[in-house]
Amino acid sequence: MMTNDLSNKSFSQRQLRVGELVKQSLGEIFIKNESKISELNSKFITVTEVRMTPDLKTARVYVIPLGGIEMREIVVVLTNNAHLVRKALSKKLNLKFLPKLKFIEDRSFEYAEKIERLIAENKKNETDKKRYN
């Protein structure tokens, strides 16, 4: 499970199970382009995580487009067409309440890349120091 902005909060088993179910279903919907969003080819969107609210009525859907390009624009398109995604989701899930979908940019990969880059720079600086001393 990725750690995003709520990393210190624990989730119930039910939230985790439903979140995983929603994540898998959204992944299928996007791969098969079943959401019928005309201005978006959803085949290039990855759902990295879904976090459910305790009442299971809202799903925070973390997404990243292939290559991480145009992330903000894609989240806006998904948000504006959330009703179409929910409609496709309703055909896959049999839940008491179909959750509202809140799409969020997943920046965890960017963050990990930044940390790796800083570590590499630090190692290079340490090696340079040893070489010149």
On whether residue 17 sits in a domain, the answer given is: yes
Distance of CA 33 to the CA centre of its chain: 17
Q: What is the pLDDT of residue 108?
A: 77
Count of domains in the chain? Answer: 1
In the numeric block, the tokens 């790796």 are attached to: 116
- Tell me whether residue 5 is in a domain: no
Task: Report which of 78, 85, 24 is spatially closest to residue 50, judged by C-alpha positions.
Answer: 24
pTM: 0.75
Q: What DSSP element (H or E) covers 61?
A: strand 58-65
Averaged confidence pLDDT in the chain: 85
All residues at 6 or more sequence positions from 109 whose CB lies less than 8 Å from its CB, including other chains:
64, 68
Q: Is residue 23 part of a domain?
A: yes
- pLDDT given at position 20: 95
Q: Is 101 part of a structural domain of the chain?
A: yes
Per-residue model confidence (pLDDT) at position 7: 47
In a domain, 130, yes or no: no
| Residue 70 included in any domain | yes
Asked if the structure places residue 56 within a domain, the reply is yes
Residue range of the domain that includes 95: 13-106
pLDDT at 42: 83
On whether residue 121 sits in a domain, the answer given is no
Give residue-wise pLDDT tens across range 69-109. Answer: 788 899 999 999 999 999 999 999 888 889 999 999 988 77
In a 13 Å sphere around the CA of 23, the CA atoms on its Cβ side amount to 20
Domain at 34, CATH number: 3.30.300.20
